[in-house]
Structure 1
Amino acid sequence: MTDHYRRRWVGLVFISIAVSLIIVDSTIVNVAVPSIVEDLGISSTQVQWVQEAYTLVFASLLLLFGSLADRFGRKRLMLIGIVVFAASSVLAALAPTGELLILARLVQGVGGAMILPTTLSVINATFRGRERGIAFAVWGSTIGGMAAVGPLLGGWLTTDFSWRWAFGINIPLGIAVFVGIAFAVAESKETRAKGIDVVGAILSVVLFGGLVFGLIEGRTYGWWSGTETFTLGGFTWPWAISPVPVAFAVSALALVGFISWGLSRSRRGRPSLLEFSLFRIRSFSNGNIAALVIALGEFGLILSLPLWLQFVLGFDALQTGLVLLALAVGSFVASGIAGAASGRVDPVVIVRLGIIAEIIGVVAVAFVISPDATWGWLLPALFVYGLGVGLATAQLTGVILQDVPVDLSGQGSGTQSTSRQVGSALGIAILGTVLFTSTGGILSDSLDDAGVPEAQRDEVVSAVVDSAGAAIAGLEESDPSGVIPDAAKAAFSDGTRLSALTAAGFLVIGLGATFALGRGSARSEEELSAQTAHR
């Protein structure tokens, strides 16, 4: 076994830890928010921005940094991203006010957007054949597993130490990852392209920033007419129309401008932010469509299940994380299965099997959910779901990038990562709407049937929905009869079940989308590189 061979696999370990940092950070804050509110005294609007600032910036910059990695060096940009991420984690951990915490989360999103596409492109440039399939399996299972480990880690740190350690844990891990990648990962970059597409970069940020903002904030500020006042710093939205449709309109205009500008530059032989010739590759174009659709439902449980476990079953943050650990275990088991099957089984088949496992797991969870559910029945369902996430995520990534020339790995990786993030944002928006709208409607009907006066009914429904279920505990104290809190628990359980079934529906659509991929009939990298070189 050569030193070069060992270094590649050691490098993969540190790349996976780097991915873990950004995935955990996107979920760990969910269980820390109540402590942050109590400590910093932040408003409900600031709470939303603490949770969403990271996702917004992260999704907006993936494509840009994927392209920059190709031009300036994938390892170099990854290391810069780790430094930015760790430094902003220091700011978040020490933040004395809500405004500084939001700023730190924004900067963390920049660092995360530097790290994620470069991890993929480094794997694509470093591994070949069956080894590439194993490497992608490890990468994908890390994402699925860490999405579940985040709430567990956050719950433990917040419960036993402080919410500040939910961010502070990134600092020692960031230092270790920086050192490991610096020594174990080889540099790679594109040597042909010159210059940077500045206009394309600006348009892409406007495009994805506007789209993700609209998807995330639609339920809060209204899909058309304003339902809440939007403020940012000292600016207050002055019009009756919600900022959400305006964001969508700006995003649509940016999309038209981005495509027109990019095609124009390509015709003149100038480099563009997105290599449009990649979409002539069937596995790449169809794979991105499938990835976006699958992402709509893939992490639906991570949105609603922790709320239900804590506010209906009465779990604390740590207990919730322990239940979700079953999902992480399933995802890590999938890593071994996918690695053993790599080179022996068509990766598209593994993707389909993974999605089927996800559907089975989500539907099983939906049947378990009830106000008096036994949490033990959730464990096998979550394990199967995690198994599916681990199988589908990595192998679909491999299918999307299998025909992408190595010198365009960063652009290809950034594009598929963006597809997933946009799909996730859309899924969160839709599943959140299903959860809270159905909970409100069901609870309102239940209270009507119980003869609760209209004014009290509206007050209870508003409290439960606006607090995402947190008000249920207060209802138990104020209504000893148990009629209102029992109705609230039943309604929130029904809403969570409908949200899970909606996620399963998206996954069924995603399963159908994979049939457009056909079989893994990859063209040679030499052929694709030659084609791209003569475009």
Structure 2
Amino acid sequence: MTSPRTRWFGLLFISLAVSLIIVDSTIVNVSIPSIIEDLGISSTQVQWVQESYTLVFAALLLVFGALSDRFGRRRLLIIGMVIFVIASVFAGLAQDGSLLIGARVLQGFGGAMILPTTLSLVNANFRGKERGIAFAIWGSTIGGMVAVGPLLGGWLTTDFSWRWAFGINIPLGIIIIIGALLTVVESKESGNLRRIDWVGALLSIVAMGSLVYGLIEGRTYGWWLVNKPFIIGDWKWSLGVSVTPFLFVIFALATTAFILWGRSRIASGKSTLIAFHLFSIASFRNGNVAAMVISLGEFGIILSLPLWLQFVVGYDALQTGFVILALAIGAFMASGLVGGLGSRVSPVRLVQLGILLEIAGVAGVGFSISPTSTWVNVVPWLFVYGLGVGLATAQLTNVILKDVPIQESGQASGTQSTSRQLGSALGIAILGTILFTSAQIQLTNSLTDAGMPTAQVSSTVATVVDSAGGAIVGFAADPATRPIADYAKQAVSDGTRNGAFAAAGFLVLGFLSTLSLGRSHKDEDEHAPTAEVKPAAS
């Protein structure tokens, strides 16, 4: 066994590992305008640069949560970090949008190994009040890194290149690997080892992939009627109806099959990808529902806000990072509030307070957005939003895993992480679609009302939307097309505002879902089975 001091150093490197994968999910946002200019990617590819990472991340969390219980949590953490670092090299060297998206897929693969193992390592190595403190540090790290990512990405993109937004992962990843080997205690499931449910894994991947793909590509291929033919290689979708509704049907069928398959395995005494029996624990069941709905609205604004700040307001990547830094400051301050309020207010109440602050903050951002707004209008609301993110994220994990037996912590943490990531994936897909669809409709109506010919309206709108707003700068530079730039700024502002209001709506649903969490349960650590623990590497 390691000393208590070494255990807390281990938590430092575990938190750094979480920081790296969370930063990577946000650092790209402020770099997107530079990536658009350099690689010429479309607005759909803009979503996929983010979504490919999140989708693979969400789809594989359950698998790696179970594998970490079986083969060792620290071991999978280190393997995942190695994959993540290698993928970052590929992302930094990508020469087109497809290669960048492929590298992001590989990053998601590594990230899916890292996140559930960090959770289960915290759950296995800390007890009682120490566990609450450890989870607060872990959760506050996530909340803070959500905003530190854009600041770091803005600095690297402005002073160096967007490629360094990925290159920074390489030295940090090496430090984390060495630190984990020296200070983190290995742990894994003892007793009878469970077989991995590979069929369940495949069904979960199909379900999540079809849902998110349909949400992102719906505006491209059409929600019902065909806007653009769906083609894979030499094969072309020939039905008169768009492929999108069929993707949603696949999602429904795969989800149903996943549940039925899991129930049949339970009846046969076999293991399942999701520990369905854990849902009999009220805190775990209700907390997962809350986590998914909250995540759906929690970080969606981070996708659209950097585009609006750079293409409409006119800030560069570094200035954009400083604006969003207000969110990080709020999240870090929330960790101090958790320490002061933790002994007097239950974790559930802290989660609810955090969500209410998030609702106020993101709604305030929505009301503040216009083509003439500046950082003064949005920074106070981002600070409030950050306070809420820090409070809610830090305590919700503790609520969800509080009553879970230690030997099942990997599977449980994988499940709750999947709930969060599925919510995040849906949030990016839905809010991104709201942003670009709203901008498209608004700009089409404005240009039509201005008397522009229909053919020119279509090409102009396509130019603005496909560039995710990047074309506005070019239109504004030419006096002849400056009115088009003004219309486009208004359209992108409206789309960003609508996305913010939609995020606030989802957070309201998330708050309502926490009302079923009830009061915190008595700590059952002294009754929980102890996981097998191996000494750390010397």
8 Å Cα contact 2:475-2:481 kept in structure 1? no
Distance 1:215 1:245 in 2: 10
**Is the deviation greater in 23-32 or in 376-385?**
23-32
- Alpha-carbon deviation of 1:488? 2.3
Match of 1:26 in 2: 25
Match of 1:134 in 2: 133
Runs of 4+ in 1 over 6 A off after TM superposition: none
Q: Which runs of 5+ in 2 are unaligned?
A: 531-538
RMSD of aligned residue pairs (Cα, Å)? 2.5
8 Å Cα contact 2:292-2:420 kept in structure 1? yes
Change (3 A) 1:39 1:364: closer
Match of 1:161 in 2: 160
Match of 1:351 in 2: 351
Q: Deviations over 1:152-202 (max 9, x none)?
A: 222222222222222111111001001111111111111134232222222
Distance 2:473 2:50 in 1: 23
Match of 1:74 in 2: 73
2:429 paired with 1:435: no
Distance 2:439 2:41 in 1: 26
Q: Aligned with 1:370: secondary structure? A: coil
Q: Aligned with 2:407: secondary structure? A: helix
Match of 2:309 in 1: 309
- The structure showing larger relative contact order (alpha-carbon pairs under 8 Å, at least 6 residues apart) is 2
Distance 2:236 2:347 in 1: 48
User: Aligned letter for 2:268?
Assistant: R
User: Aligned letter for 2:175?
Assistant: A
User: Aligned letter for 1:262?
Assistant: G
- Alpha-carbon deviation of 1:461? 3.1
Change (3 A) 1:436 1:93: closer
- Alpha-carbon deviation of 1:128? 2.0
8 Å Cα contact 1:71-1:190 kept in structure 2? yes
Q: Deviations over 1:95-152 (max 9, x none)?
A: 4555443332221111000001111111111222222222222222222222222222
**Is the deviation greater in 504-513 or in 111-120?**
504-513
- Map of 1:58-207 to 2, 5 A cutoff? 58-96=57-95, 98-194=97-193, 195-207=195-207
- Alpha-carbon deviation of 1:441? 2.9
Change (3 A) 1:122 1:229: farther
- Alpha-carbon deviation of 1:34? 4.3
User: Aligned letter for 1:247?
Assistant: L
- Alpha-carbon deviation of 1:446? 3.3
Change (3 A) 1:410 1:430: same
Match of 2:409 in 1: 409
- Residue correspondences, number: 528
Change (3 A) 1:66 1:243: farther
- Map of 1:253-402 to 2, 5 A cutoff? 253-402=253-402
Q: Aligned with 2:186: secondary structure? A: coil
**Is the deviation greater in 145-154 or in 443-452?**
443-452
- Alpha-carbon deviation of 1:469? 1.7
Q: Deviations over 1:220-270 (max 9, x none)?
A: 3333344335556x4655334444333333332222222222222222322
- Alpha-carbon deviation of 1:493? 1.7
User: Aligned letter for 2:270?
Assistant: R
User: Aligned letter for 1:101?
Assistant: L
Q: Aligned with 2:373: secondary structure? A: coil
Q: Aligned with 1:188: secondary structure? A: strand
Distance 1:235 1:143 in 2: 44
Q: Deviations over 1:432-462 (max 9, x none)?
A: 2322232233333434444444444444333
Change (3 A) 1:471 1:338: same
8 Å Cα contact 2:305-2:496 kept in structure 1? yes
TM-score (norm 1): 0.92
Distance 2:382 2:42 in 1: 34
User: Aligned letter for 1:249?
Assistant: V
- Alpha-carbon deviation of 1:58? 1.1
User: Aligned letter for 1:106?
Assistant: V
Distance 1:464 1:248 in 2: 28
